Structure 1
Amino acid sequence: MGMWCIVLFMTLTIVGQISSEEECSFHYLLKHLNITNDKERFAMTRPVINWKHPTEVNIGLYPYSIVEVIEKSQMFIAYFWVILDWKNDFISWDPDAFCGINKFLVPRELLWTPDFMILETIEEDKTQKSPYLTITSQGKVTLDEDIRLVSACRMKVHHFPFDTQKCNLTFTSISHTVEQVKFASAINSTRATDLTSSTLREEGDWRFLNMIVFNSSLEEGNLNFSEIVYEMEIKRWPVLYLVNVVLPVVFFLVLDIFSFFIADSRGDKLGFKVTVLLAISVMMLILKDLLPAMSNQSPLIVTFFIVVFAFMLMSLLETILITYLMELDSAAPPRKHRSCCTVASAGGCRKGEPECPSQPNSTEGQSELSVEAGGFESLLFELRSLHKSLGEIPREREREPAYWGRVAKHINRIYLCCYLLSVVVFLVCMYRAWTAESEQ
């Protein structure tokens, strides 16, 4: 009898230990909640006791890598952590009754999950979905996703390459109205900005500025859908574009300015300016591949290229004009000899009329000829006086050698001064316009 009592006591002790160990397992907790057997309650319907009460879904969006921003097609590509949590009214337990278990993982297909979509998505996410959900003793269910998001982003490239872009990511439900599912942000804008700044890997041309979170709604007919919007603001790092695009154009402009010091008589000046103009054309073709085809405002860099191109075109036309004027001198007729007068003429020489060189009289015959010439010159003077009283007909001024060359030099100097002043004013205005957005 005593032996049987000992055996029975040991058996009960072992069974109690086994039962105690079983109560500390996840399997026992899952069996207690009856999740696997009651799919109608846990997986097929929204987990609320009263259907009039909406399910509030908290969404947290945390970007950790910006892959690419494509201006041409206006796309934004990045990796995000998306964390959703909601309350399941049918799940709860006492952690003390299950050895302190307060949360555990269950397969995703065992529980109801809210359907959501991001309105700006233009390409299906092909990353692997998380197979598990986390549930807590208070009935909180958490879904943790890692997604690669390819979204549309309206690019404002007016200040390119000093531009700042704002890309919106809008979460909404495709089948549950606001009376059934309400979306809310898990964190505020300040917290979202701080977390993103600490986790985001900035490896490309873009730098993260801030994150703004706000609620919205979408109306379709008589239906109203809840929305949560994450507005991500990023700024371009402009050094690469300054070195590869803007500075070469400025250097070409400087070369065009120094080309004014090339001798106009040589044909190299015209060829040099044409070469620089063609180089600017090539840079404009490169810029075309960077900017989007559609934009609300013309980019300032396009204005910069067009004005620089216009400067160089005007410089080329001025060089052609100078070359033409220089050619006029080479085609000018030889200089005509001007008349002279003798001192012995009646009334003397007129103003501006040179004196004829005097020649010594060596013979008497020459002396007689000079007397007769004096009488002839006196008559000539009278005729000139009569002509002056009736009004002289203005004669065409005779061109002097290199006259058009001097005109060309004056034009070149005046144009160079105006050119330098215009370039300086233009570059200052462009700098102020480019930096206006960053100052704001």
Structure 2
Amino acid sequence: MREVKTAGLIFICFSLLQGFAAALNCSSPTPESLFEALERELFQKKLLRPVKSFSDTMIISMHATVVGVLGVNEKAQSLTIFIWQVLEWDIQGFSWDEKECGTKRVSVPRENLWVPDILISEFMDEDKSPNAPYVYLYNTGHVYDDKPIRVISTCRLGIYTFPFDIQNCSLTFGSYLHVAEDILLVQSATAAEVIEESREVMQTKGEWELLNIEITTTILNIVHGNYSDITYYIILRRRPVLYVVNLLIPSCFLITLDLFSFLLPPQSVDRSSFKMTLILGYTVFLLIMNDLLPVTGNTTPLINVFFSLSLALMVASLLETVFITNIQFSSSHYSAVPNWLSILVLRYLAIVVCLPPKKKSNRITVSLPSARAMNASIVSDLHSIPDHTPPMKPPPEPALDELRKLSRDLVAIRLQVDKHFLGSKTSQEWQMIGTVIDRLLFGLYIVFISVSFVSIVCLWTLSNSYES
């Protein structure tokens, strides 16, 4: 009697361990018969992990296909992406005969089967994916689960090289509760196959381009145990055409226009008003296009540095114009040019900016004698006349007064004309210094713009380089 009880206990334990070891028996090859058998033999055990023993590890193969990149939020540091997730596993010991049950494959409701709790660790919002209520069940016990997932995940976005940036966002698939001894994830497709399939089924052709997908399989060691994970690295590249056309090209046009405004002569054209108009126009342009720029507090994009540098150069050129204009029009009120400044600017810097020193004028200035000298000359001429010539009477006194007045007026007119057209020597030196400094700053402006823009382009190029 004791031996019969022991044999019964062994049979019960063996039945529990076998779990799904029995083949499915169908009374007829009809759907009703198959589902009655499934309801009797399989659906009632949906709470159990479908293995023969608790110590057995269930191997789940998976792969994900990227269907579309819906958006990237730089401020929230998040990525919105649409994928197809495929999970496959086997129910150990479960099968049915294809001829006896009438089919090789059948779709069954997901809630009637044990489904692994495979989740994405980077999820940061409620899962609003479309509902996929069915999975495929094969006669060999193989389960095929394919469902779409709309993922809003965290992603550390680097926008320093915006709009030529490349983002690398990760999606980590793994069991939320089961350790690696219970569930082991394996990748069913290579990274090359996944990227090729993703490019074929890609639906969105918007701002982002799928550059590459890298896959790694890891065992994560945590306090509670080891967890099996598969990490997908989604590498995206932004299409920069929109930002180049709307931001960079207009900015380059305005800075080029400000550069060539140095060719306007400050003594005859109000160059400062022209530059002020450019600054106002550039400020309005930045305000209008501000919505296209990324907003984040982590790093400052290089394009913001580019715009700030362009605006700073425009302001600096305006200040230079004000300085040169003041020299050109107020030099007559200045004191004499210091000797060291005259030597430094007119002798050395003038050669650097290819401005030869001003040649001396060949015009001869004739000085008119004073009225007293004219009268003395007239009297001496009268005394020098020989005696045999008839004596000439000196002009009357009123005529001499008129000649004196005429002489003073002519001298005053000559001095005013010379002062107006030629200017004083001090004023000429200051104006020449202003011309040399204007040309020198124009050259420095060109060099600074060239070096700055080349440096920014090099930084964009080096930071944007990626080898797939």
Question: Is the TM value for this pair above 0.5?
Answer: yes
Instruction: Name the CA distance, whole Å, in 2 between partners of 1:45 and 1:84.
Output: 18
Picking from 146, 150, 153, the partner of 1:151 is 153
Q: Which residue of 1 aligns with 2:258?
A: 256
1:83 aligns with 2:90: no
Q: Secondary structure at the match of 2:62?
A: strand
Q: Which residue of 1 aligns with 2:182?
A: 180
- Are the counterparts in 2 of residues 72 and 290 from structure 1 also a CA contact under 8 Å? no
In structure 1, stretches of 5+ residues that fail to align are: 1-20, 334-353, 369-397
Instruction: Name the CA distance, whole Å, in 1 between partners of 2:310 and 2:188.
Output: 51
Picking from 74, 97, 109, the partner of 2:100 is 97
Q: CA deviation at 1:106?
A: 1.0
Instruction: Name the CA distance, whole Å, in 1 between partners of 2:269 and 2:291.
Output: 33
1:409 aligns with 2:435: yes
Instruction: Name the CA distance, whole Å, in 2 between partners of 1:407 and 1:269.
Output: 18
Judging changes above 3 Å, is the alpha-carbon distance between structure 1 residues 165 and 316 closer, same or farther for their aligned structure 2 residues? same
Judging changes above 3 Å, is the alpha-carbon distance between structure 1 residues 230 and 366 closer, same or farther for their aligned structure 2 residues? farther
Map 1:239-250 → 2, pairs under 5 A: 239-250=241-252
Q: Which residue of 1 aligns with 2:195?
A: 193
- Are the counterparts in 2 of residues 208 and 233 from structure 1 also a CA contact under 8 Å? yes
Judging changes above 3 Å, is the alpha-carbon distance between structure 1 residues 326 and 25 closer, same or farther for their aligned structure 2 residues? same
Q: Secondary structure at the match of 1:276?
A: helix
1:427 aligns with 2:453: yes
Picking from 189, 207, 210, the partner of 1:208 is 210
Judging changes above 3 Å, is the alpha-carbon distance between structure 1 residues 439 and 95 closer, same or farther for their aligned structure 2 residues? same
1:50 aligns with 2:63: no
Judging changes above 3 Å, is the alpha-carbon distance between structure 1 residues 439 and 80 closer, same or farther for their aligned structure 2 residues? closer
1:35 aligns with 2:61: no
Code of the aligned partner of 1:119? S
Q: CA deviation at 1:134?
A: 0.6
- Are the counterparts in 2 of residues 328 and 404 from structure 1 also a CA contact under 8 Å? no
Instruction: Name the CA distance, whole Å, in 2 between partners of 1:70 and 1:112.
Output: 36
Q: CA deviation at 1:240?
A: 0.3
1:26 aligns with 2:26: no
Q: CA deviation at 1:90?
A: 4.3
Q: Secondary structure at the match of 2:130?
A: coil
Picking from 304, 320, 333, the partner of 2:322 is 320
Q: Which residue of 2 aligns with 1:138?
A: 140
Judging changes above 3 Å, is the alpha-carbon distance between structure 1 residues 39 and 137 closer, same or farther for their aligned structure 2 residues? closer
Instruction: Name the CA distance, whole Å, in 2 between partners of 1:200 and 1:187.
Output: 18
Q: Which residue of 1 aligns with 2:166?
A: 164
Q: CA deviation at 1:366?
A: 9.1
Instruction: Name the CA distance, whole Å, in 2 between partners of 1:403 and 1:366.
Output: 47
Instruction: Name the CA distance, whole Å, in 1 between partners of 2:318 and 2:97.
Output: 88
Q: CA deviation at 1:105?
A: 0.8
- Are the counterparts in 1 of residues 332 and 427 from structure 2 also a CA contact under 8 Å? no
Q: CA deviation at 1:292?
A: 3.7
Q: Which residue of 1 aligns with 2:4?
A: none
Q: Which residue of 2 aligns with 1:350?
A: none
Instruction: Name the CA distance, whole Å, in 1 between partners of 2:169 and 2:295.
Output: 16
Q: Deviations over 1:410-433 (max 9, x none)?
A: 211111122112212222222222
- Are the counterparts in 2 of residues 67 and 78 from structure 1 also a CA contact under 8 Å? yes
- Are the counterparts in 2 of residues 36 and 110 from structure 1 also a CA contact under 8 Å? no
Q: Deviations over 1:152-171 (max 9, x none)?
A: 21111121111111111111
Picking from 290, 307, 310, the partner of 1:308 is 310
Picking from 61, 64, 69, the partner of 1:66 is 69
Judging changes above 3 Å, is the alpha-carbon distance between structure 1 residues 40 and 247 closer, same or farther for their aligned structure 2 residues? same
- Are the counterparts in 2 of residues 73 and 292 from structure 1 also a CA contact under 8 Å? no
- Are the counterparts in 2 of residues 91 and 138 from structure 1 also a CA contact under 8 Å? yes
- Are the counterparts in 2 of residues 104 and 136 from structure 1 also a CA contact under 8 Å? yes
Code of the aligned partner of 2:75? K
Instruction: Name the CA distance, whole Å, in 2 between partners of 1:130 and 1:355.
Output: 107
Instruction: Name the CA distance, whole Å, in 2 between partners of 1:161 and 1:119.
Output: 28
Q: CA deviation at 1:402?
A: 4.1
Instruction: Name the CA distance, whole Å, in 2 between partners of 1:93 and 1:229.
Output: 36
Code of the aligned partner of 1:35? E
- Are the counterparts in 1 of residues 332 and 426 from structure 2 also a CA contact under 8 Å? no
Judging changes above 3 Å, is the alpha-carbon distance between structure 1 residues 205 and 366 closer, same or farther for their aligned structure 2 residues? farther
- Are the counterparts in 2 of residues 47 and 112 from structure 1 also a CA contact under 8 Å? yes
Instruction: Name the CA distance, whole Å, in 1 between partners of 2:367 and 2:382.
Output: 17
Q: Which residue of 2 aligns with 1:345?
A: none
Q: Deviations over 1:161-202 (max 9, x none)?
A: 111111111112111111111122221111111111111124
Worse-superposed segment, 197-206 or 277-286: 277-286
| CA root-mean-square deviation | 2.9
Instruction: Name the CA distance, whole Å, in 1 between partners of 2:82 and 2:187.
Output: 19
Picking from 107, 110, 127, the partner of 1:108 is 110
Instruction: Name the CA distance, whole Å, in 2 between partners of 1:107 and 1:115.
Output: 16
- Are the counterparts in 1 of residues 178 and 227 from structure 2 also a CA contact under 8 Å? yes
Q: CA deviation at 1:407?
A: 2.0
Q: CA deviation at 1:84?
A: 0.9
